[in-house]
Amino acid sequence: MAEPMKIRATVTGDTADIKVLMNHPMETGQRKDPKTGQLIPAHFISEVTATLNGKTVMEAEWSGAISKNPYLGIKVKGAKAGDKVTVTWKDNTGESNTADATVS
Amino acid sequence: NAFAAYNSAAFSAKSVADALKGMGATSPTESKDIAIKAPEIAENGAVVPVEVTSKIAGTTNIAILAEKNPNPLVADFKLENGAEPYVSVRIKMGQTAMIRAVVTAGGKSYTAAKEVKVTIGGCGG
Amino acid sequence: MAIDSKQALAGNAPSDFYDIPTFGNVSLMHMTDCHAQLLPIYFREPNVNIGIGSALGQPPHLVGEYLLKHYGIRPGTREAYAFTYLDFQAAARTYGKVGGFAHLKTLVDKIRASRPDSLLLDGGDTWQGSATSLWTNAQDMVDACKLLGVDVMTGHWEYTYGAERVKHIVENDFKNSIDFVAQNVTTNDFGDQVFKPYVMKVMNGVQVAIIGQSFPYTPIANPRYMVPDWTFGIQDENMQKIVDEARAKGAQVVVVLSHNGMDVDIKMASRVTGIDAIFGGHTHDGVPQPYQVKNAKGTTLVTNAGSNGKFLGVMDFDVRGNKIVGWKYRLLPVFSNLIAPDAKMAKYIEDVRAPFAAKLNEKLAVTEDMLYRRGNFNGTFDQLILDALMTVKGADAAFSPGFRWGTSLLSGDVITMDKLMDQTAITYPSSTLNEMTGATIKGIMEDVCDNLFNSDPYYQQGGDMVRVGGIQYTVNPNNTIGNRISNMTLKGKPVDANRKYKVAGWAPVGEGVTGTPIWDVVATYLRDIKVVTPRKLNTPKVVGIGNNPGYVV
Ligand SMILES: [Mn+2]
Ligand SMILES: [Mn+2]
């Protein structure tokens, strides 16, 4: 199964700075295996959501041109220490992962 | 499913024009209120950091395109419920190209671009 | 605010050459790009340093007489010898060698004696460039800098010893002695600062912030695998944030110790506000007086202090309240025969070299002509390296990186292993032999050429053009990438885009490339020929630049 995400969420004033590192190969489907010469099948995160205290703040659609082990940074106003951030991704094969963090 | 249907038409488009069409943003207005932060020269074409900040009031969406990628559209973000008009990601680029941001605000589309050079490197003072 | 360059450079009697009247209340000494040269050396300045676009005819893109005229330096003087290539051999024989840490130490101490509390800033490219720096894993330079009394430093080639080694030195050897600063080096995960972005120092009660700026393109110009977890870049926005933070914390003077290269520094000074002065390096430009850059909130002084230990910059500020009300700057050439070497440093250098004496002193050949490297397109020592590569490897053509370091030799000098290592001592020295199509060769040349002549300095890398052996070409610096190189020929025949050629090279930035170290390739060649006859310098035909004061051939 997918490895856990790393989330760092810090608040300055009332704005939460949310940084996420995900584990994923992000294969475009256009790259050839250097050994076999065969195309490596597409395998990438296609959809990501982020919520703050259960309310959706970001919904994203991605292509395979997001770098391997993706990074995501967003900022949310109206946040405070102790708020709960949840990030969920789903990839083109149907695999998914979700992780929580507390704003500090 | 909380996700909107994946915009296959836009993501599989092979040109910037077709990607914009797929996004419903056919001729976005050039705007100085969109800031793209990306390195002038990429340290690694496979990992190019890109940050987009929009100062356009009512920004709801930010999309990022790498103009010379086989499929230019890289990401499309919908921002709501307090999310600031800002996103930061790292993207793949095969060659020197413009990175284009497309912002949706009040039902209209705006755009800005910045060149990122992908080089073989290897010299120095 | 008088610039007294004429006075300072008008050829004072050698006995009082370094008696510099004091001025103001804050003094900063600056050295940069010494490239591990512990002993006095010769270093010939370039006759080709082309400026294009807004840099045309502006410092640092002035060579020879253009430079002398711009700064009011009389031809034929020892200052003209220091700042230009003019009549280099004769001047070198008259005025002698430059630099050397024992001589520099005496000079630094002399300046310090007249300016208590003054600081010594080192702009980097300090740990690389000599045999002993490579063979001691930078330790000889680390200890020499502590002995010299460096207060603050930043880096570039330092990083080619690997992230772990740099961290180890900064956290151990430099603990409580030298502050290593770099605002533009951050981690690849969450973007945290790897080093302190700046330090605050107090001089005569004045708070001075020194912000570090490492070479922005280290992971591109040098192997990325050396610093896999760090990212660099220019990072203007963060620079502005740090400047503002330092001011908010009470800094009355804010300076940047930069390894951007001068063109990038000039652009940065026009965009970032609140910097009083940038002490720059990397492009190895010996610039006699600061270039004044206006921006939205004031003026920033941009300096560049040459290379190879040849110069010591001395900036005196008169600070009243939160303002600099006056300044004086001198870029002092370090003339080794005008300065008594510091005994302690001289002993240190002798001791650190002693274990390697036999290897260092091996005589490889004698050169009949002057050998040098610096210049946009080629130098005679580079040509020697290219000739060695093509001969030893049996190649049709050769590439040698446009490094700006490497000392000069006069006609009749012996090329020892020590001197060969001055040109080649790097941590990724493998030589290579590849089959490349004509199209690939052109692609590489266009790519490197754009890193030198892109009209926007932020897209440049601050090195010189790759040196090309075997292939003649025409270059138009004012064109765009893909359109600068033309008329490529090999042995009189046009280079065929589809044909494959054997191309030798060295210093691969990719991981896992192996091959004979370049110094062994060149040493083999030199031991064989014994006498280096004057080289036929393969330089391109340069077109489209008109009368450029950065180009004299
Ligand atoms: Mn240097
Ligand atoms: Mn450098």
CATH of the domain at A55: 2.60.40.10
Residue A55 inside a domain? The answer is yes
- The pLDDT score that the predictor gives to residue C11 is 46
SS (H, E, C) C403-456: CCCCCEECCCCEEEHHHHHHHHCCCCCEEEEEEEEHHHHHHHHHHHHHHHHCCC
Peptide bond into C116 cis (omega under 30): no
Tally of domains within chain A: 1
Confidence class of residue C463 from pLDDT cuts 50, 70 and 90?
A: confident
Residue of A nearest to C188 (CA): A71
Residue C6, pLDDT above cutoff 70: no
Confidence class of residue C3 from pLDDT cuts 50, 70 and 90?
A: very low
Q: Which residues of C touch B37 (CB under 8 A)?
A: 237
Q: In angstroms, rounded to a whole number, what is the distance separating the alpha carbons of residues C330 and C186?
A: 34
Q: In angstroms, rounded to a whole number, what is the distance separating the alpha carbons of residues C256 and B120?
A: 29
Question: How many Å lie between the centroid of ligand 1 and the Cα of residue C508?
Answer: 18
C-beta atoms of B43 and C224 within 8 A: yes
C-beta atoms of A49 and B47 within 8 A: no
- The pLDDT score that the predictor gives to residue C365 is 98
C-beta atoms of C464 and B123 within 8 A: yes
C-beta atoms of A21 and C189 within 8 A: yes
Per-residue pLDDT, averaged over C101-108, amounts to: 98
pLDDT tens-digit profile of A30-83? 999 989 999 999 999 999 999 999 999 999 999 999 999 999 999 999 999 999
C-beta atoms of A59 and B2 within 8 A: yes
Per-residue pLDDT, averaged over C400-408, amounts to: 97
Q: Does A8 touch chain C (CB under 8 A)?
A: yes
Size of interface A-B (CB pairs under 8 A): 109
- Residue C1, min C-alpha distance to chain B (Å): 32
Nearest one of A100, A98, A102 to A90, comparing CA atoms: A98
Size of interface A-C (CB pairs under 8 A): 7
Q: Which residues of B touch C237 (CB under 8 A)?
A: 37
Confidence class of residue C8 from pLDDT cuts 50, 70 and 90?
A: very low
Residue A66 inside a domain? The answer is yes
- The pLDDT score that the predictor gives to residue B125 is 56
pLDDT tens-digit profile of C407-434? 999 999 999 999 999 999 999 999 999 9
- Cα C272 to chain center, whole Å? 24
Q: Which stretches of chain B sit within 8 Å of chain A by CB?
A: 2-4, 6-7, 11, 46-49, 51, 66, 69-71, 73-84, 86-93
- The pLDDT score that the predictor gives to residue B5 is 81
C-beta atoms of A61 and B76 within 8 A: yes
The pTM assigned to this predicted structure is 0.96
> From residue C345, how far is each of C27, C140, C151, C340 by CA, in Å?
23, 12, 17, 11
- The pLDDT score that the predictor gives to residue C433 is 97
User: What are the φ/ψ torsions at residue C530 (nearest 5 degrees)?
Assistant: 65, -40
Tell me if C101 sits within 8 A of C144, measured CB to CB. yes
Confidence class of residue A3 from pLDDT cuts 50, 70 and 90?
A: confident
- Residue A19, min C-alpha distance to chain C (Å): 7
- Residue A35, min C-alpha distance to chain B (Å): 20
- The pLDDT score that the predictor gives to residue B1 is 37
- The pLDDT score that the predictor gives to residue C209 is 98
- Give the burial class of C368: count Cβ atoms within 10 A of its Cβ; 0-12 exposed, 13-18 middle, 19 or more buried: middle
- Residue A72, min C-alpha distance to chain B (Å): 5
Q: In angstroms, rounded to a whole number, what is the distance separating the alpha carbons of residues C74 and C63?
A: 14
Q: Which residues of A touch C191 (CB under 8 A)?
A: 19
Q: In angstroms, rounded to a whole number, what is the distance separating the alpha carbons of residues C145 and A91?
A: 53
CA angle B14, B16, B19 (to 5 degrees): 70
Residue with tokens 């020879």: C64
Q: What is the ipTM of this complex?
A: 0.94
Give C123's DSSP letter. -
Q: Which residues of B touch A55 (CB under 8 A)?
A: 81
Residue A1 inside a domain? The answer is no
How confident is the prediction along chain B (125 residues), in pLDDT tens digits per residue?
344 589 999 999 999 999 999 999 999 999 999 999 999 999 999 999 999 999 999 999 999 999 999 999 999 999 999 999 999 999 999 999 999 999 999 999 999 999 999 998 766 55
Confidence class of residue C2 from pLDDT cuts 50, 70 and 90?
A: very low
Question: How many Å lie between the centroid of ligand 2 and the Cα of residue A27?
Answer: 36
Residue A62 inside a domain? The answer is yes
- Residue B125, min C-alpha distance to chain A (Å): 31
Tell me if C39 sits within 8 A of C314, measured CB to CB. no
Question: How many Å lie between the centroid of ligand 2 and the Cα of residue C432?
Answer: 23
Residue A52 inside a domain? The answer is yes
A2-6, B56-60, B116-120, C538-542: the lowest-pLDDT one = A2-6
Tell me if B99 sits within 8 A of B36, measured CB to CB. yes
SS (H, E, C) C341-405: CCHHHHHHHHHHHHHHHHHHCCEEEEECCCECCCCCCCCHHHHHHHHHHHHHHCCCEEEEEECCC
- The pLDDT score that the predictor gives to residue B4 is 54
pLDDT tens-digit profile of C268-316? 999 999 999 999 999 999 999 999 999 999 999 999 999 999 999 999 9
- The pLDDT score that the predictor gives to residue B121 is 72
pLDDT tens-digit profile of C57-84? 999 999 999 999 999 999 999 999 999 9
Tell me if C409 sits within 8 A of C415, measured CB to CB. yes
Residue A42 inside a domain? The answer is yes
Q: Which residues of C touch B120 (CB under 8 A)?
A: 444, 447-448
pLDDT tens-digit profile of C229-272? 999 999 999 999 999 999 999 999 999 999 999 999 999 999 99
Task: Name the residue range of residue A11's domain.
Answer: 6-29+38-103
Residue with tokens 């170290």: C517
Q: Does A39 touch chain C (CB under 8 A)?
A: no
Residue A25 inside a domain? The answer is yes
C-beta atoms of A60 and B70 within 8 A: no
Residue A64 inside a domain? The answer is yes
Q: Which ligand is nearest to the CA of C126?
A: 1
